[in-house]
Structure 1
Amino acid sequence: MLFSKLGNNRRSSSIYIFPRYMAEPWQGPPKQGLYDPTFEKEACGVGFIAAIDGRRSNKIIRDAQRLAISMNHRGACACDNDTGDGAGILAAIPHDFYAAQLKDAQNVQLPSFGKYATGIFYLDKLHHKESEDKFTTLAEELGMSVLAWRTVPTDSSTIGTVAKNSEPFMRQVFVTLKNDTSEEEYDSKYFVLRKRATHLIPAPGKRFYICSLSRRVIVYKGQLTSDQLWTYFPDLVNPHFETYLALVHTRFSTNTFPSWERAHPLRSLCGTEPGAASALELP
């Protein structure tokens, strides 16, 4: 331990005794044993919460919000003090919430959970229709059909100037296979669709990025701080958004430039190292 704490039953205050090798309370220990202060580096923050019984509830998303905000110090922000290096959340698809949204807004009936995939795309307003049409064509070529596109509700009033200058136009797709098949085939088809779209649709001057495309989970993310994540995406504070798991991430951009695309790089499983996070991409 760097210091010991002596409690006093008669007083509410505590006395801290610092080891002799620490000249001042704000100084860390020198190199000793396996410890080397040169290895001290900033790092991203990752948190995970789940209901072990698999039951969906809004409480999981509220607990994830508290967890993410508690990790705000693990991320970083730009000189405007309001543009985060990146923050996001991966959650189990809130099927009932999306089904109600599409039914009310577009009169679209979603298949049962697991029979469709969904994901949020980063596009630009000028070319988004063209990109969506190309994605629909690719889906048709793979034996799929696009059920609907939904504009993701956002509130940019609290984010920084740097983030606003590069803010994407967000669209959410819902896609399904035309013929019923095995779970493995579902996952394989959606994986191939995302990969083909990622390689074939982007073009100079046209923004195109897929945050995730899965029949199990959904990713909300952006060039935000951990607390901005919840005000920027109204979906995440809707009481009808229910999930049984949530993985939150806040980014400290140690050796790369911050961007909307690089925030929360976790589509399924993750591992974190000092200053970086790595993702294992699974369908």
Structure 2
Amino acid sequence: DPTYSNMFDGPTALVKERDACGVGFIANTKHPASHKILTQGLSALTCMEHRGACGGDFMSGDGAGIMTQIPWELLVQEENSVIADLDLQDENAQRPGVGFVFLPQDEDRRKAVQTTIEDVCKANELDFMGWREVPVNPDVLGPLARAASPSMYQFFVQPPARLLSDKDHQEKQDMQDGFERTLYLVRRRFGVELENRGLTMAQQDDPESDVDAYVASFSSRTMVHKGMVQSSVLPLFYQDL
């Protein structure tokens, strides 16, 4: 298929290919968060390489990803961080929501999608804090994956005032759960508003549609790094890993 996708500027056929995948889960319930768990998770991901396919260039893959807790210390300590003032000492404090979104390579379309996301967040009582361009190393990608690679950004939002609580632990937990539900609903709203503005977002029930945006994750607890790469390439591509 010689046509090209709005988001990826790459062969649409490569974007459309999907199939079943292997899934693993690793956790440490007794110790604080550490990079060791992430390393073990990435190792486990590599062990499932046989569940995926290799591209014709022998470098690209048909998709791999990992979900982790949000690395707050990494994001806070980064130079010019939009969440530099976040207090990490209180483990029960409400954290911002973090969206991970794939955007068009074309600058004008990318800005149009970003503006739409900001407007939807503000219309739903979410205080938009700013954008962060995700640091990646495109040199490790195969030719096929590199041609189809989107622009990757994260954005941060504060919860509505009605979902902030200084009371007991249970009420804080309830408020945090409410924030997660709000983020899910707002994520769904992105697609509606993008369509209203002549743009499109990938939908789970229509994965073959040509799209301008794809939200990999939007949560105050977890984050997803994914791409059309082989498992072993994922941590080489995403410098945060």
Match 2:184 to one of 191, 196, 199? 191
Number of equivalences: 193
Q: 2:218 matched to which residue of 1? A: 213
User: Which amino acid in 2 is paired with 1:226?
Assistant: S
Report the Cα distance in structure 2 between the residues aligned to 1:110 and 1:132, rounded to whole angstroms. Answer: 23
Partner of 1:223: 228
The Cα of 1:167 is off from its aligned counterpart by 0.6
Residue 17 of structure 1 corresponds to none
TM-score, normalised to structure 2, is: 0.74
CA distance in 1, matches of 2:86, 2:118: 17
Consecutive unaligned residues of structure 1, counting only runs of 5 or more, are 1-41, 237-283
Distance 1:225 1:78 in 2: 9
> How far apart are the structure 1 equivalents of 2:115 and 2:185?
17
Contact 1:221–1:229 at 8 Å: present in 2 too? yes
- In 1, the alpha carbon distance for the partners of 2:103 and 2:87 equals 26
Query: Where in structure 1 do 4 or more consecutive aligned residues deviate above 6 Å?
Result: none
Map of 2:86 onto structure 1? 110
Unaligned runs of 5+ in 2: 1-18, 164-174, 201-209
Question: Aligned with 1:222: secondary structure?
Answer: strand
Instruction: Name 2:237's counterpart in structure 1.
Output: 232
Pairwise CA distance, 1:96: 1.2
Partners of 1:144 and 1:107 in 2: CA distance: 15
Residue-by-residue CA offset, 1:51-107 (whole Å, 9 max, x unaligned): 122520111011112111222222111111111000000001111111112xx2246
Q: CA contact under 8 A between 1:198 and 1:209: conserved in structure 2?
A: no
User: 1:199 and 1:54, CA in 2 relative to 1: closer, same or farther beyond 3 A?
Assistant: farther
Percent identity reads 28
Give 1:29's aligned residue. none
Deviations 1:128-163 (A, max 9, x none): 222111111111111111112000011111211111
Bigger drift between 201-210 and 143-152 goes to 201-210
Q: Give the TM-score of the pair, scaled to structure 1.
A: 0.64
The whole-number CA distance in structure 2 between the counterparts of 1:195 and 1:111 is 29
Give 1 or 2: higher helix fraction.
2
Q: How does 1:12-23 map to 2 (within 5 A)?
A: none
- Aligned partner of 2:224: which letter? V
Q: Give the counterpart letter for 1:212 in structure 2.
A: S
Following the alignment from structure 1 to structure 2, what is the Cα–Cα distance between the partners of residues 154 and 73?
A: 25
Residue 226 of structure 1: CA displacement? 0.3
State the shift of 1:184 in Å.
3.2
Distance 1:43 1:201 in 2: 28
Q: Is the Cα–Cα contact under 8 Å of residues 123 and 206 in structure 1 kept in the other structure?
A: no
Counterpart residue number, 1:119: 99
Write the mapping of 1:123-162 to structure 2, written as runs, cut at 5 A. 123-125=103-105, 126=107, 127-162=109-144
Structure with more of its chain in strand, by fraction: 1
| Structural RMSD (CA) | 2.0
Tell me if 1:86 matches 2:68: no
Partner of 1:274: none
Question: What is the letter of the counterpart of residue 118 of structure 1?
Answer: V
- Structure 2: distance between partners of 1:59 and 1:172: 24
- Using the alignment, how far apart are the partners of 1:199 and 1:81 within structure 2? 38
Is contact 2:82-2:129 (8 Å) kept?
Answer: no
Tell me which residue corresponds to 1:241.
none
Conserved? CA contact 2:62–2:229, under 8 Å: yes
Question: 1:201: which partner in 2?
Answer: 194
Greater radius of gyration (CA)? 1
